[in-house]
Structure 1
Amino acid sequence: MNTIFGLIITVVMVFGGYLLAGGKMGIITHALPFEGMMIGGAALGAFFAGNDMNTVKHTMGDVTAVFTGAKWKKTDYQDLLCLMHELLNLMKQNPVEVESHIEAPGESSIFTKYPKILKDHSAIELVCDTIRSMIMNFDNVHQVEELMQKQLDQLAEDKLHGSHALQNMADALPALGIVAAVLGVIKTMASIDKPPEILGGMIGGALVGTFLGVFLAYGVVGPFAKKVKDIRVEEHAFYAMIGEILVSNLHLNPVNICVEVARRHAPSRVRPTYDEVDQAIRNMKRAA
């Protein structure tokens, strides 16, 4: 909602100010389709040329996320804490049994309680790989922790590819606007024998290219890139919380302490309270 509201304010203030200052929309509306085709087409072509298909797909999903917000909600963080509480308790009681859950999470009676988490390949892979390493009795606890941290770092880097691609596009748009404007000037110079009022309209149309490139860069694509980055950074806290609870368990803390350490790592906007988590775990135990 904030994104749509912000775009509306930007468009209304820019074009409203132009009209109130006595500007005419005729020149802009006449030139806009052609300038937009040149600038938008060049930006899109450069985007495809500079990124692989995996990044292209991620970026499309990122643009959708700008309007829908972060994937993980408060209830998802609470579900994650319950999931990890159950897994770690089982691992302490029966390490052999927990192995069957991490080897086939899609068939696990524990993982299937949380379908949204189960559908996220990155979260399931992080949980299962780390617990598998713990069960394998790595001699060095810090080695497991280091492996998990590298996995988290790689995940964070992968999630930001879309933001970087959008920011690169925003950086290129002003220059592409100049390209469109130069082409407009070339067209104008080829018609130098026309009356001044016609030449003025052609020059005005050429300058629409510069305006459009700068406007799209700083008014649309740049803010989108920033929003995508903020969303992905917030979502990474979900995976980092998995890391926190497993690291705490590696250092032989009680499961309740591990859960509380992880809970405090959640972003404040979506962090469940201690009482909410405690009640959810009690309900889970009663249901079991």
Structure 2
Amino acid sequence: MIGIVGVVIVFVMVFGGYLAAGGKMGIILKSLPFEFTMIGGAAVGAFIISNDMAGIKHTIKDVGKVFKGAKWKSEDYRDLLCLLYELLRLAKQNPVALEEHIEAPENSDIFSKYSRIAADHEAVDLIADTLRNASMNYDDPHQVEEVLDKRMEAHLEHSLHSSHALQTMADGLPALGIVAAVLGVIKTMASIDQPPEILGKLIGGALVGTFLGVFLAYGMVGPFAAKVKSVVEEESNFYLLIREVLVASLHKHPVNLCIEVGRQNTPGHFRPSFVELEDALKTVQQEAA
């Protein structure tokens, strides 16, 4: 919702200020379809050239994050801590029983309680793979921790691809606007024998290209890239929480302490209170009894 508000403000302030200053929209509206075709078409073409099909689909999908925001909400972080509590508690009590949950999470009655988390393959695989590695009795838990760090770095880098692609497009739009403006000047020079009122409109139409390239770069595509990056980095906190809890478990800390480590590492605006989490964990214990 906030993304839509931002887009509206950009358009209202730019074009509202132009009209308030005495500008007329006629010449912009007349030139806009042609200028947008040149600039937007060239930008899309360059985007397709510089990305493979997977990257294109990834970027198109991630544009929605500008308006939807981060995937994970406060209740998801609470549920994640409860899920990890159940799994770590079971690992302490009956390691053999844990295997069926980490080997086939899609059939696990524990994972099925938390449908939003179970639907995220990266979160499920991260939990299952780490617990599987822990069951191999590594002498040094730092080995698993290092694997986790590299995996999460790779996942974050992949997730940021759409932000980088959009930023690259934004960086190129002003130059493409100049290309369109130059073409407009060439068109104007072909009509140099026309009276000033006609030349003025032709030059104004050419300058619409420069305006449009800069406007799209700094008013639309650039902010979209920044928002996607912000959302992706915020979503990565969900996976960082998994890392912190499981690493604490690898160091043989009590289950409750591991969960508290996770709670403390939850982003402040999503962090459940100690009492709220304690009540949720008690509910989990009662259901398991």
Q: Secondary structure at the match of 1:48?
A: helix
> In the alignment, what sits opposite 1:245?
245
What pairs up with 1:101-120 in 2 under 5 angstroms? Answer: 101-120=101-120
Check if 1:182 corresponds to 2:196: no
In 2, distance between residues paired with 1:253 and 1:128?
A: 19
In 2, distance between residues paired with 1:38 and 1:271?
A: 48
Instruction: Give the length in aligned residue pairs.
Output: 288
CA RMSD for the aligned pairs?
0.9
> In the alignment, what sits opposite 1:154?
154
Moved more, 1-10 or 118-127: 1-10
Structure 2 unaligned runs (5+)?
none
> In the alignment, what sits opposite 2:60?
60
> In the alignment, what sits opposite 1:227?
227
Give the deviation of 1:21 after TM superposition.
Answer: 1.4
Give the deviation of 1:139 after TM superposition.
Answer: 2.3
What pairs up with 1:127-276 in 2 under 5 angstroms? Answer: 127-276=127-276
In 2, distance between residues paired with 1:40 and 1:267?
A: 38
> In the alignment, what sits opposite 2:32?
32
Check if 1:82 corresponds to 2:76: no
1:121-157: per-residue Cα shift (whole Å, max 9, x none)? 1101111111110001122211011011111111111
User: Identical aligned pairs, as a percentage?
Assistant: 62
Moved more, 260-269 or 202-211: 260-269
In 2, distance between residues paired with 1:95 and 1:190?
A: 82
> In the alignment, what sits opposite 1:283?
283
In 1, distance between residues paired with 2:13 and 2:101?
A: 56
Give the deviation of 1:17 after TM superposition.
Answer: 1.3
Give the deviation of 1:5 after TM superposition.
Answer: 1.3
In 1, distance between residues paired with 2:266 and 2:41?
A: 41
Q: Secondary structure at the match of 2:269?
A: helix
> In the alignment, what sits opposite 1:11?
11
Give the deviation of 1:22 after TM superposition.
Answer: 1.4
Q: Secondary structure at the match of 2:64?
A: helix
In 1, distance between residues paired with 2:106 and 2:235?
A: 23
In 1, distance between residues paired with 2:156 and 2:60?
A: 18
Give the deviation of 1:60 after TM superposition.
Answer: 1.3
In 1, distance between residues paired with 2:217 and 2:274?
A: 43
Moved more, 136-145 or 227-236: 136-145
TM-score with structure 2 setting the length: 0.98
